[in-house]
Amino acid sequence: MKARVAILISGGGSNMLALLRDMQQADHPAMPVLVASNDPQATGLAKAAALGVATAAVSHRGQTRDAFETALLDPILAARPDILLLAGFMRVLTPAFVGRFAGRMLNIHPSLLPKYPGLHTHQRALDAGDAEAGCTIHKVTPVLDDGPILGQARVPVLAGDTADTLAARVLVQEHRLYPAVLRRFATGDQTPIFL
Ligand code: GRF
């Protein structure tokens, strides 16, 4: 039986798309059962639907965090996911929500954690004069951007880089790393992958 995967997005969903495309391969140990977003305007929703994946949009606007998460849980639980992936999902989830998926919820963060948890990671790496940057996939715990690392990919910081040029270079690696980590994680293997 393939592992059932739900993916949460907030925008374009380029990581989600890379994951869906990889799961279209017959040998993949997982299958997508839902793509959900906190933003009904997220363009990633149409991309998922075009690939035949069920979608759901639950706006967080004007909602308390608890009310939003209660509403978001409906389509997620109905999809009966084994694994929940955050992919460009820009809402901080409560410990109660995280606890429901403890050990089976992953996130991709655009820095070499533990460096630069939070936002503006690429600018912070540039400001620090780092020679390298990259992305990390980790298990989600109640502490933001802090869980056990399941994968990392590194890129060089080049002369003249801006946050945008660095982000674009890292994003290419994100699209390689997340599918590789999901393939391994879906088999129960939690050995970290370093690209
Ligand atoms: C990416 O940099 C990802 O690392 C971060 O959100 C950005 C956009 O992701 N979490 P996507 O294109 O929506 O997958």
CATH class of 1-101: alpha beta
* Cβ–Cβ under 8 Å, residues 87 and 67: no
The kind and range of the H/E element at 150 are strand 149-156
CATH number (3.30.70.20, 3.40.50.170, 3.40.640.10, 3.40.718.10) of 111-195 reads 3.40.50.170
| Model pLDDT, residue 11 | 97
| Model pLDDT, residue 171 | 98
What is the chain's alpha carbon radius of gyration, rounded to the nearest angstrom? 16
25 contacts: CB under 8 Å, gap ≥ 6: none
The token pair at 121 is 């990671």
Which among 8, 15, 140 is the best mutation to test ligand 1's pocket, defined by most ligand atoms within 8 Å of the CB?
A: 15
Closest C-alpha to ligand 1, atom 5:
88
Hey, CA dihedral for 7, 40, 46, 10, is it positive or negative?
negative
Look-up of token digits 């039986």: 1
Domain ranges, ordered by start, for the chain: 1-101, 111-195
Instruction: Name residue 8's beta-bridge partners.
Output: 36, 86
Give catalytic residues, as residue numbers.
Answer: 109
Using the mean position of ligand 1's atoms as its centre, give its distance from the Cα of residue 24 in Å: 21
Per-10-residue mean pLDDT for the chain, 195 residues long?
A: 98 98 98 98 98 98 96 98 98 96 97 97 98 98 93 98 98 98 98 97
| Model pLDDT, residue 189 | 98
Q: Is 1-101's fold the same as 111-195's? A: yes
